[in-house]
Every structure is written in C-alpha cells, then in structure tokens.
A and B are shown apart, each in its own frame.
Chain A
C-alpha cells in the first residue's frame, strides 16, 4: 500500500546511508525508529516511481460518502501525510474502497485511526462530515454539548405503546489510538483505564466487568439472554477497517447490578455506553445516562485521562457518522395503524426520526414493534436530541390514538437542521 512504499523508498535511502557507514547487511532489517529519519529525502523518488495517480482507488462503482468526496487532487495532497502515530489516508479509506456501498443506504466509507486523523485528513473528512450530517460544516460551526438531564420535559411515554427506552453513545480515551489503528498494548490500556474507572462507580451504578476472552459458558449464556453480549463483528464494513484484529483480546462488557447501565469495551469504539430499561421512562433513562457518563469521566480524570472532544466535532469516535453527541436515543414502540399509513415515512422524516427493526440497524420489524430513534448526531446537543425524540414519539403516539378513534392525522412541519 502507499505507506508501505513510502517506507520502502525511505528504506532504500537508509540502506544507502547504512551501507556507506558499514552498518551491516540488509538481512539485519531496519529498526522501526529509523523509518522517520529518511522520510524527506525519498519523497521525490517515490513520486517518480509511484505517483499518487498510480495508487488512486477505482471508485467508479462506489456509492459512499468517501467516494463522493475523494478526488485525485485531494488524494495526491493527502497520500503521503501521516498522523503523529503514523496513520495514513489509505488506512482511513480502506473500508470504503473495499465496500462499494449499498444501493439504498449511503455508507460513510472511511474511519479515523486516532484523534489527529480528523485534522491531518480534514480536507477529506470535512466534506464527508458535511455530506453525512446534513450540511454541518466543521470549518465554521461549533457543536454544542449538553448533558443536563434536568432540562428534559414530558419524558414519560404512554406504556401502552412504548415497550422500552434506551440511550447510547460512545467515548474515546484521549492519547490512545482508535480500534482500526490501535496496537494490542493500546487496546489493553483502554480496557485497563475504563475497567478501573468503572470499578469506582457506586450505588445504583455499581457493577461488574466480563472480559470476552475469560467468560465462562454460563456467564456467556446469561449475557446473551439479556441481549447484552456483543460478538466479533462480521460486517465487512467493520472488518475491512481492521477493528476486529486480535479478537477477543481486551474486549468485554461491563454492566451494573440493576442491569440498566451497560458499557462495551473495545468493540467498534473504545467504549459504548448504554442506558436502558423496560417501559417508557425516557427521562429516567437519560438522567442515569448523564449521571453515569459524568461519573465515569470524573473517575478517569482523577487518573490523568480524558475523553477525546473538541468544539468543532464534539466527541471523537471511530466512524464520522457518530461524531458530535454519538447519541442514539430510541424506543421500542408498537404503532400498528400509523405504521400502515402511507404518510408515516414523511412524518418520521420531518420529525428527524428513523425507524429500524428491533434487532437494530439493518434488521426487520417483528410483529408491529419497531425501533424509533433520532437521525442526527452532530450539530445538536444531547438534551436537544433527546427532547426531539421525546416530542417526536409523543406526536407519533398522538397520531396512533387519533387513528384509533377514526380521526385523521397531520404531517408535522419539518424541524430545522441547525440553530442559525
């Protein structure tokens, strides 16, 4: 790949230097620390042998955000750059090259290997982010963070319709590479930092960690029955990005004793945090979510760590689709009449909501129960998004009740995208 060739060119230069000082044969190999040393001298040689056009991927059959934004000119400017940890553009886009895309769903097609990826490769990430997040422009806009659950109103749903409520997000530990790029030691360090912090949680948040590699059969079955267990990713979107390497090393699941606060360690992100419970008390779910998040953040800060965050992009996660809040707040809901109404799709769209099957993304609804959640992640705060879900779901329930009574429903006016 492009980076390997950079090293080969650097290596050849280094070989000449080493040979001239009599440092031994090629057979000894090169020390990794040499690779940075000869970088500058080889750029010209590399351009001559393999110009960026030779490496530019064939994206003619592709339908993802990366392919829509990556031009030969951008590729030429970014190909030879690296983040401070040596992550390259080719590594960011490999998943998008290997997965041309779904005809109906436009996938993102690139990932970050570390926090700096979003800066070093901003020329490609920024238009991709804009494409994916409805025009949010990281160059000029700021993302609001608000985890004050007390601001939520009307957060209790009619439980004749809402079966369960859930809020999830992700957090990354600053200073350690993200799952596509991390070494085994970095991944183990993420696990250590997070598990140590979680062991400091008390009261209704106190709980236990289950390492994927060390789990007993009985524990495994229990976690499967509770719908907590995550498996090695099989989606080629994820495996092509390299995040399944070394499975199941340093992966695990933590949950509190009450089984309504759950954390995944080292799956697609450093951490995924989930607050959930049966029934319609979304306000309580979000309150526990915010409280838990703040406590975990405090516990890692005590030991000198922090979450990846900046005011341009909010919380930094592996996939650009999860930037900002990384938040998906949703319910499992039964709306048999509205579901069959031809206007349902438009109603959801205007409310900035999304319908999924009860198995999550890319699953089908079973027996009229489906998952409804926010579409947006970036450009609106956590409080705004959860309130939007609450107001939207309440509207849907109103529609269902009206249809039950033989009354008509109205398509609501569309919610504006960003605060002007």
Chain B
C-alpha cells in the first residue's frame, strides 16, 4: 500500500486535477523530413493520437532566440505538424526543436536535436530514357530535380515480362547499362535516389520514379492475335471455302462427276441382247447357225432311274422270283434287238 502510494503521488502531482496531456497516450515524437532541400515538414502525430494544444519552437545552434513555427499543419483544429520553407532551413548546423503540449493547466515539453542534412529526401528521378546501344546493350538515363546531382546515389529496379522477381542494382552516376537484352522480352525499369555518404548520413530513399518500358509485348499481343485467328478467322474461312465447294459441286457436273463418279451400269451394253434378240445369246453373239445346230442332240435318251439295292442278308435273287423286282420301275422296256448300254448292269449289285 505504501509502495502504491509512493508511485501514485508523483503522477498525481505532475498531472494535477486536470487530465495530463500525455498521460493517456505515449509521448509524441517530432519527426522532420527535408523534401528535396526545398521545404521541410516536422510532424508529431495525428488527430487520433493527439489531444492537447501543441506549439513548436525551433532554433539553431548559433542563435539564442527560439522562433515559433509560422505555418502549422492542422487536422480538425489540432496542430499535428509544422511547415518550414527554404529560408528557414540551415543544414550542417544543429537544429533544435521544442514541442510544448498544453492541456488544461499543465504543459509538457519535448525537445529534440537534429542534423537536417541527414534528413533529406530527394524527389524521384524524372525523364527516364532508354537508348539502344550496340551488342544488344541497353542504356538507361534519367534526370533529377535535386539541386546537387553529384550528391545522389541511385538504385535501378527492373524485370522482364518473363521474370518473377525484380532486380535491384545500385548506381553511382546517372547512367545504367544492361549488358545483354532479349528482344523478345518486355522490360520495365524504375529508378530512385538517395543522398550519398559524401553529402550526408541519411537513410531516406526517394519514391520510385515513373516507370519506363522497352521491348516487344508480343507475347500478349501474339496470344490475342492467335486467339482471334483460331476462333474467328479460320472458322469463317472454312465455311466460305465449304460454301464455294458446295456451289461448285452443284453447278459444275464435271466437278461432281470427279467427286461422285457414277455407279457403272452395264445393262446398256446388253440392251440389244435382251430387247432385240430376246435373250438369245447365240444370236446376239453372232454364233453361226451350223455351229448352233451341231450342239443340238440327234438322239433321244430315256431316263434311267437308278437306286441302291438292300444289303446281302435280306437279299433275294431277283431271277428266282416271278415277280418283277419292286424297286425296278422301267418307264419303257427296251426292245430285245435294240442295243441298250445299261443292259449288263441291270439288277446286279
């Protein structure tokens, strides 16, 4: 309890009955940036973090008079920063600021010492230009609005459309050479600047410049063209050619005959056979009459029926039977004196 009281008393004494300007929030810190050595902005917070009334005083080492900021940045009636024009800026002399925060009856003072030459942020490079050199070499040049160009170092960031990551290279002059480039690729370049170690000890890089591009974007253009050719041109051309062919087929029999030859119909060649000569081949073929006559038989033949006799066990000689064999059925019995070529083989197996 005694320890708690010991802790609370100084806090209450400091803040008093009124709210403490910085008790509820962390102490604001003054941050200054010298933009291109043209003007400077010092800020100490934002509307969300600041609750008190703020006043900024500044002086340089060799002067004893504190000067109040002439141009405050305001955010809804709260002072959040101070603007210094070029006449109020002196580099290479210790720059002191005193921020007074007052709320109610209490005042908080925050002081800071800075070296302005270490707080310079140059503007981004401008007029990026690419030159085509010999041996597939590219040269990138740029200009700067910073008053002392020799005090700057630069960084170039580039990649092609086929790369995934950016390449970042440090450059001391204002010329960057890319030794070998592929003409089929599409390159993009950015440049930024910083005051080098010969003119200050700043870590503030400028913003990246407006990009400059080089190369053929043929991949994307080619894809679009190819797609257009595939989906529009080729189908339309095919349809047109097909249409022309159809018309040709219909209108030109010579073409039709070539593509769709007639099924041969040899019946025409035989019209004379079937119509004129009534199917008489010999007459149509022009066979002589005596040859036709020679093929006609000059004898007559009786039909002789032959059948198989039953097996031997059940065989009965036919001669001993008075009945004629039942299987024999001559349609005409030959005359005794007439020669029959089949007589000897009659009834015998």
Partners in one complex: no
Q: Report B's interface with A, CB cutoff 8 A.
A: none
